Structure 1
């Protein structure tokens, strides 16, 4: 599995997601840089002692990321503007699960180029506007893993 974070902003969220990626044998991709230094103590603390085992790739921008992946790769974009609920999707092996940053989500210039049925959402109560990024990653990642059984027994 591949978890893609677009311009993450909060170090502990990224640290938690890094630890989740190690625990699920997933690869973390950071696209467009982060608003913090990855050597920050809060990133490392959230990732605990797993950080040295993290498979991570940094991509300068979205275009560079797209050139890095295989042209036939399945990409799913997680957004509150999604047309389908994340659990109603049939995930292939090793998709790229793309998440926007904590304050703005995915930018329109990325979502507008995505296939509409590849933009998925996590249902929320009507008075809610967002779910914590590390929680959202865990929710969608484990559903994709559940479907593909892409973990070691």
Structure 2
């Protein structure tokens, strides 16, 4: 299982997701460019002292990430998803991808995803905070993976 951040905009959200990934022992891929400098004090504050424990792989662009060798399915969280995340069977090698806070991911990334999941919300709500979304879906994916492991 991996968490993948696509060009994050907000250092506090990126820091929170980095802290979560480190604390849960989930490796992370960070697709740049970011909307902030990676040593931003807000990122460090949100990540606290967990960032040194994070298994982080940085990619200079979407093209660089797409050309790298990966295992598992690319699972995109998107408001345009057709499958509720609670109805999806996660696998241990899945890569859970979240988009930019301001714009999600471009169409090319949507098309590259093996699966597009949505978090069902009560209208008129459209979306949740990206860090909260990542936590909900990663938690479910890890729960399913643990249950499947003898």
- In 2, are the aligned partners of 1:79 and 1:105 still within 8 Å (CA)? yes
Aligned partner (choices 123, 128, 132) of residue 131 of structure 1: 128
Pairwise CA distance, 1:51 = 0.9
1:42 aligns to what? 42
The one-character-per-residue Cα deviations of 1:83-141 (angstroms, maximum 9, x if unpaired) are 100111111113100111101111112112334xx100001121112200110000000
Structure 1 residues 32, 38: closer, same or farther in 2, change over 3 A? closer
The one-character-per-residue Cα deviations of 1:31-58 (angstroms, maximum 9, x if unpaired) are 1320101111110000111111111111
2:103 aligns to what? 104
Moved over 4 A (4+): none
Inter-partner Cα distance in structure 2 for 1:46 and 1:78: 22
Matched ranges for 1:44-123 at <5 A:
44-70=44-70, 73-115=72-114, 118-123=115-120
Inter-partner Cα distance in structure 2 for 1:146 and 1:114: 22
- In 2, are the aligned partners of 1:33 and 1:58 still within 8 Å (CA)? no
Structure 1 stretches of 5 or more lacking a match? Answer: none
Inter-partner Cα distance in structure 1 for 2:141 and 2:68: 22
Inter-partner Cα distance in structure 2 for 1:4 and 1:114: 12
Structure 2 stretches of 5 or more lacking a match? Answer: none
- Normalised by the length of structure 1, the TM-score is 0.91
2:23 aligns to what? 23
The one-character-per-residue Cα deviations of 1:51-85 (angstroms, maximum 9, x if unpaired) are 11111111112221122233x52110110000100
What is the alpha-carbon root mean square deviation over aligned residues? 1.4
